Structure 1
Amino acid sequence: MGGFNLNEMMAAAKQHAEELQKKMAQTVIEATAGGGSVTVKMNGQKQLLSIKIDPEVVKSGDVEMLQDLVTAAVNEGSRRVDQAMQSNLSGMMGGMGLPGF
């Protein structure tokens, strides 16, 4: 009789978690704000890899606007990392045959 084996399920969950961490570490997300005035790249661990700022934004001298654009781009990048994580997690959990995934 094929019973429920908690140890096997836990081992599979651990393996899937390790795979997810590796995949997210290799993931690079790009996000923009201000119509492309500020672009950020962030990895799947939410580490900021780069920021590009259009020189025209700097020329305006509006520091508050630039700060807002950088904040918006970083927040968008973080949101996209969360989406990628959720998408990957759902795919992996679905493969485990768990209800609700």
Structure 2
Amino acid sequence: MSQNPFEALGGGGFDMNALLQQAQQMQEQLQSAQERLTETVVDGTVAGGAVTVKVNGVGELVGVEIRAGGFDGSDPDDLSDLGDMIIAAYRDAKAQADALAGEALGPLAGGAEGLPGMPGQLGF
């Protein structure tokens, strides 16, 4: 019987250091991609630009713009509509951010679907 249990898998032994280095490189690439996503901003708009919401690539809300003259704030229905439009604009921007995250992290995430902290369809 052989002393090395990995010889049965193809001989030559098993290089744990190479595996750890590869894992470290993947972790660095993933962290770099996440940093780029944090710096990327996408817009979601509704009602012909009456409301624009800015979201970064990891889905964090970073800005809301309301076009002047669209809402005076004195009518409760206007305010309710404004809230609905902000939500709709956020959903639009978030969908774009999720798509960006999927493109940026897809090759790096591999089998990481559903893990916390993974943007887009990978967990956010």
* TM-score normalized by the length of structure 1: 0.75
Question: 1 or 2, which has the higher helix percentage?
Answer: 1
The structure with the largest alpha-carbon Rg is 2
SS at match of 1:49: strand
RMSD between superposed Cα atoms in Å: 2.6
Question: Does the 8 A contact of 2:58 with 2:101 survive in 1?
Answer: no
Match of 1:9 in 2: 22
Match of 1:52 in 2: 65
Question: Does the 8 A contact of 2:58 with 2:98 survive in 1?
Answer: no
**Any runs of at least 4 consecutive aligned residues in structure 1 with deviations exceeding 4 A, and if so which?**
none
Provide the rounded CA distance (Å) in 1 between the counterparts of 2:36 and 2:26. 15
Structure 1 spans left out of the alignment, 5+ residues? none
Percentage of matched positions with identical amino acids: 24
SS at match of 1:58: coil
> Displacement of 1:84 after TM fit?
0.6
Q: Which has the higher contact order (CA 8 A, sep 6+)?
A: 1
Report matched runs for 1:1-101 at 5 Å. Answer: 5-59=18-72, 61=75, 62-90=78-106, 92-93=107-108
